[in-house]
């Protein structure tokens, strides 16, 4: 790698890290402000939803870019640990509680209370953060998280009752980034990141993977990540 390319890579990684920290502080401050000054009118609630959603989306993008940067530079290490899955999901949904309440969404979680699995909780958390924030934006009024064991994998599904995903995205969600049309307003970064994180999880010669389809049990789109 040339010095010029190396300098850019270091600058890029450093800048993304700084922006991620700043946006994280912005989200924390916004959350505290909204709790102390809850919006009353429908117009104010709408503005609050937009602020929370856009800040969360930027934060997720920065975390994904930083992780991809580390992965491409062989500086991202997977830290597998035993996870109480139901508790993990409850904490994840609690992190989005304000946005869920402001949107007035019905949330359903299906997970065996005693289920434990082994995965990198921080990386999977980053995957779910992105999917949940986008689901909150595009669903009509429901969000469902379902977990079950399938053929030696744990499958975490996040479903909505919105208009669903484009067919071309469903066919190859992990590769969507390579043929993106920016006029659609979606870069595919989140799905690319999700696919890479899933593949990092390996056990018994099998690797994790993702699926995206419009077979949601509540009538919209569904994102599923499989972890061996």
Pairing of strands 202-203, 153-160: unpaired
> 91 with 194, same domain?
yes
Q: What does the pLDDT read at residue 42?
A: 81
Phi, psi values for residue 62, rounded to 5°? -65, -40
Residue that is written with structure tokens 């609690």 in the block: 94
> 43 with 138, same domain?
no
> 111 with 56, same domain?
no
Last residue of a domain, one of 72, 92, 125: 72
Degrees to nearest 5, angle at CA 99 with 160 and 140: 30
Phi, psi values for residue 107, rounded to 5°? -115, 130
> 94 with 201, same domain?
yes
Each residue's pLDDT tens digit, 154-209? 999 999 999 998 887 788 776 655 545 544 445 577 888 899 999 999 999 999 99
- What domain count does the chain have? 2
Cβ–Cβ < 8 Å for 78, 120: yes
Cβ–Cβ < 8 Å for 198, 154: no
Last residue of a domain, one of 72, 103, 120: 72
Cα 45 from Cα 63, distance rounded (Å): 27
Distance from the first to the final alpha carbon of the chain: 35
Cα 86 from Cα 114, distance rounded (Å): 8
Q: What does the pLDDT read at residue 209?
A: 96
Half-sphere exposure of 198 toward its Cβ, with a 13 Å CA cutoff? 23
> 61 with 42, same domain?
yes
Average pLDDT, the chain: 84
What six digits make up the tokens of 180? 């993106």
> 125 with 217, same domain?
yes
Structural domain of 12: 3-72
Residue stretches of the chain with pLDDT short of 50 = 179, 182-185
């Amino acid at each position: 790698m040339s010095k010029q390319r190396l300098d850019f890579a270091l600058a890029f990684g450093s800048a993304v890290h700084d922006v991620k920290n700043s946006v994280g502080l912005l989200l924390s401050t916004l959350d505290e402000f909204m709790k102390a000054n809850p919006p009353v009118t429908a117009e104010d609630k709408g503005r609050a939803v937009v602020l929370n959603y856009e800040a969360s989306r930027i934060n997720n993008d920065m975390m994904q870019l930083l992780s991809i940067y580390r992965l491409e530079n062989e500086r991202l290490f997977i830290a597998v640990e035993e996870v109480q899955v139901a508790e993990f999901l409850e904490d994840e949904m609690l992190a989005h509680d304000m946005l869920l309440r402001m949107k007035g969404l019905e949330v359903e979680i299906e997970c065996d209370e005693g289920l434990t699995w082994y995965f990198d909780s921080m990386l999977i958390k980053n995957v779910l953060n992105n999917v949940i924030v986008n689901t909150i934006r595009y669903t009509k009024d429901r969000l469902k998280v379902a977990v079950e064991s399938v053929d030696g994998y744990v499958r975490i599904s996040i479903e909505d009752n919105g208009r669903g995903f484009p067919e071309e995205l469903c066919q190859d969600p992990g590769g969507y980034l390579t043929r993106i049309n920016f006029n659609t307003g979606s870069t595919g970064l989140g799905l690319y990141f999700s696919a890479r994180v899933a593949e990092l999880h390996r056990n018994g010669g099998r690797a994790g993977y993702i699926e995206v389809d419009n077979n949601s049990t509540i009538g919209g789109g569904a994102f599923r990540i499989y972890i061996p």
